[in-house]
C-alpha cells in the first residue's frame, strides 16, 4: 500500500471535517425539535396609559394628560424643586377616563429641577359588605316574571286553609 500524499491527506481531512460539521449542525435541531416544547406565545400587549405633556413656567408646573385608550388610567404629577429647602411634591393620584383630558398643576417656591408623571392601572373597588346586624335581602325577581312558589312534598298540606266553594276572601 502506497502512502497518501499531502494533498490527498488534506482532502480526506477536509471531507471528514465537513461530514462531522454537517452532522453536528443537523443533530441538535432534530433533537431540539423532538424533545423541547415550544414556548407559549407571549400575551398580546394591550396599549395603556394616558399621553402626558409637561410644561414648566418659572416655578409653576402644568401637565396635560389625554387618555386615548378604553381603560381608565391613574396619573400622578411629581415635582422636584431645585433648592434644598424647597419641598418636593408628589400629587395625589387622579383618574383619567377614556377619551378625556385632564390638567394637573403644581409649583415650587423658586426653580423647578425635574417634573414627571407616573401611570398605574386603577384598583377595582370591592363591593361594600352589608352593615353589621343586618341580614342580606333576597333579590327581587326580574321584571316580567312571576315569582314561583316552592312545590310541597307528597302528603303535605298548605299552611293556609282552603276556602269553601263560592266564598271570597275578605280583606281588612
Per residue in 116-131, pLDDT tens? Answer: 999 998 877 777 777 7
The predicted structure's pLDDT at residue 125: 73
E strand residue ranges, the chain: 51-57, 60-67, 73-81, 89-90, 94-96, 100-107, 112-120
DSSP state of 7: H
Instruction: Compute the average pLDDT of residues 43-49.
Output: 79
Strand order in the sheet with 100-107: 51-57, 60-67, 100-107
Superfamily per CATH, domain 51-120: Immunoglobulins (2.60.40.10)
pLDDT of residue 76 exceeding 90:
yes
* Residue 9 binned pLDDT confidence (cut-offs 50, 70, 90): confident
Q: Quick one: cell of 109?
A: 417656591
Q: How would residue 42 be classed by pLDDT, with cut points 50, 70 and 90?
A: confident
Distance (Å, rounded) from C-alpha 64 to C-alpha 51? 8
pTM: predicted TM-score of the whole model, two decimal places: 0.49
Which of 10-19, 51-60, 138-147 has the least mean pLDDT?
138-147
Pick the closest to residue 120 from 48, 47, 44 (CA basis): 48
Ranking 20-24, 96-100, 131-135, 163-167 by mean pLDDT, the lowest is 163-167
| Cα angle: 52, vertex 54, 56; to 5 degrees | 175
**Mean pLDDT taken over the chain:** 77
State residue 60's pLDDT score.
95
The rounded distance, in Å, linking the Cα atoms of 104 and 65 is: 8
Q: Write down the pLDDT at residue 161.
A: 53
- What span, in angstroms and rounded, lies between the C-alpha atoms of 31 and 73? 47
User: Mean of the pLDDT values across residues 5-31?
Assistant: 67
Largest CA distance in the chain: 131
| Residue 100 in grid coordinates | 378625556
Amino acid at each position: 500500500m502506497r502512502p497518501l500524499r499531502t494533498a490527498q491527506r488534506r482532502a480526506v481531512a477536509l471531507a471528514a471535517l465537513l461530514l462531522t460539521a454537517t452532522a453536528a449542525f443537523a443533530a441538535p435541531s432534530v433533537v431540539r425539535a423532538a424533545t423541547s416544547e415550544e414556548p407559549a406565545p407571549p400575551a398580546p400587549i394591550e396599549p395603556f396609559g394616558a399621553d402626558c405633556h409637561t410644561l414648566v413656567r418659572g416655578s409653576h408646573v402644568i401637565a396635560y394628560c389625554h387618555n386615548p385608550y378604553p381603560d381608565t388610567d391613574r396619573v400622578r404629577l411629581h415635582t422636584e424643586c431645585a433648592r434644598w429647602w424647597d419641598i418636593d411634591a408628589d400629587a395625589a393620584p387622579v383618574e383619567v377616563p377614556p377619551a378625556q383630558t385632564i390638567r394637573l398643576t403644581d409649583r415650587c417656591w423658586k426653580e423647578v429641577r425635574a417634573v414627571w408623571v407616573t401611570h398605574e392601572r386603577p384598583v377595582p373597588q370591592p363591593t361594600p359588605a352589608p352593615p353589621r346586624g343586618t341580614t342580606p335581602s333576597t333579590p327581587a325577581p326580574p321584571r316580567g316574571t312571576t315569582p314561583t312558589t316552592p312545590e310541597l312534598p307528597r302528603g303535605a298540606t298548605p299552611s293556609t286553609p282552603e276556602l269553601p266553594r263560592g266564598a271570597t276572601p275578605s280583606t281588612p
